[in-house]
Amino acid sequence: MSGSALVKHYMTKKVISVPPNETIEEVIKLMKFTNHDGFPVLVNDKVLGMITAFDILSKPGEKSVEDIMSMDVVVADQNMSLNDAARVMFRMGISRLPVIDKKGKLVGIITNTDIVRSHIERSTPMKVKYLKETLEQLYNVKTKVARRRVPIERLKPTQNKIYADELQGRAYELKRGLAEPTIVVKTGDRFILIDGHHRTVAAYELGYKEIDSYVIELDKDIRLGLEKTAESEGIYSLNDIYIIDDAQHPLIALTESLKKKTQKENREKENKK
C-alpha cells in the first residue's frame, strides 16, 4: 500500500486511435460510440498528433483527420510519476496524455479521470492503516491486510441507511472505474463491511457479484461492536439498508443552505442601496 505511483500503474493500456487519413465523419461516429472526445493519431504505432472534438468544431468543413489534427502533442513516459503527469496536464490545460515507451511507441493514455482515481485509491490505505491499528489495540488481536475481491452477498453491513443521490453518484463512479475499494473486516467466516456502503449497494444494484476491497483479517473470531449494533437494528444484509430517497445527503443540503444564506444576504445588501 506504499510506493510512488507511476503513470504506467494507472494509464489505460487499450487505447483507441485513428490513422491520419481517417475521415472526420468516421471520427465523429467513433466519438459517439465510445463517448470519448479525442483520440491519438498514429503512424507505425507512434504518435503523430491528436484529434479532439474541439478540433472538429473549430475547423468545420474539413474532410480528414490530418487536415485538422493537433501536431504539437505533449506525451508522457510510462515511468513518469503520476504527480508530475498531473502537474503537466494542469499547467498545459490538457485533459489527456498519450503514454510512450523508450522506443517512442504508444503504450497507453493517462487522463484526468485516471488522476482522480489514483488519488482516491491512495487515500484509502491511510484509513485502512488506522482501522488496522485500532482493531489490534481494541481487541488484542493480530491482523493482516490484503486487497481482494469479496463476494457481495457475503458482506454484512454496519450502516442502517444510505442516500439515494449519493447512491446514484457511486453507480456512476463504478461504471467509470473511479470507485475506491471498500474496507472489510474478516472475523471468523464473516465479512463485515466497515466503509463503502453506498459503493457496495450501488454495485449490488448494478448486478456485480464481487467488489474490490481492502480486507483486514483478524487472527481470532471476534464479534465487533459495529456488528452487534447493526444486528440490534435488524441489519443483516444489504437488503436491510434503508435508502433515503426523499432527502439529499446532509453535506449537499448544507451546501444549498449556505447558498440560500448568501443569496439572502445579497438581497438584503441590494435593498439597503
> Which distant-in-sequence residues (6+ apart) come within 8 Å of 130 by Cβ?
none
Give 10-residue mean pLDDT values along the chain (273 residues): 73 91 94 89 92 90 90 90 88 88 91 78 79 93 96 96 86 82 95 94 95 96 93 93 73 58 70 68
Supply φ then ψ for residue 155, to 5 degrees.
Answer: -80, 135
Confidence (pLDDT) at 156: 97
Domains of the chain, start order: 7-115 (3.10.580.10), 141-251 (3.90.1530.10)
Confidence (pLDDT) at 99: 93
Task: Please report, for residues 19, 44, 65, 205, the alpha-carbon distance to residue 154 in angstroms, rounded to integers and kept in the order given.
Answer: 48, 49, 51, 15
Confidence (pLDDT) at 163: 86
Confidence (pLDDT) at 1: 42
Does this model's pTM top 0.75? My answer is no
Secondary structure of the chain in HEC code, one letter for each residue = CCCCCEHHHHCECCCCCECCCCEHHHHHHHHHHHCCCEEEEEECCEEEEEEEHHHHHHCCCCCEHHHHCECCCCCEECCCEHHHHHHHHHHHCCCEEEEECCCCEEEEEEEHHHHHHHHHHHHHHHHHHHHHHHHHHHHCCCEEEEEEEEEHHHEECCCCEEEHHHHHHHHHHHHHCCCCCEEEEEECCEEEEEECHHHHHHHHHCCCCEEEEEEEEECCCCCCHHHHHHHHCCCCCHHHCEEECCCCCHHHHHHHHHHHHHHHHHHHHHHHC
For residue range 146-202, list pLDDT tens digits in order: 999 999 999 999 999 998 888 888 888 888 777 788 999 999 999 999 999 999 999
- What is the number of residues in the chain? 273
Confidence (pLDDT) at 246: 62
Confidence (pLDDT) at 2: 42
Closest to 5 (Cα-Cα) out of 120, 158, 140:
120
Query: Hunting for cell 473470531 — which residue is that?
Result: 221
Confidence (pLDDT) at 107: 94
Tell me how crowded residue 163 is: count the other CB atoms within 10 A of its CB: 19
Confidence (pLDDT) at 164: 86
Confidence (pLDDT) at 179: 75
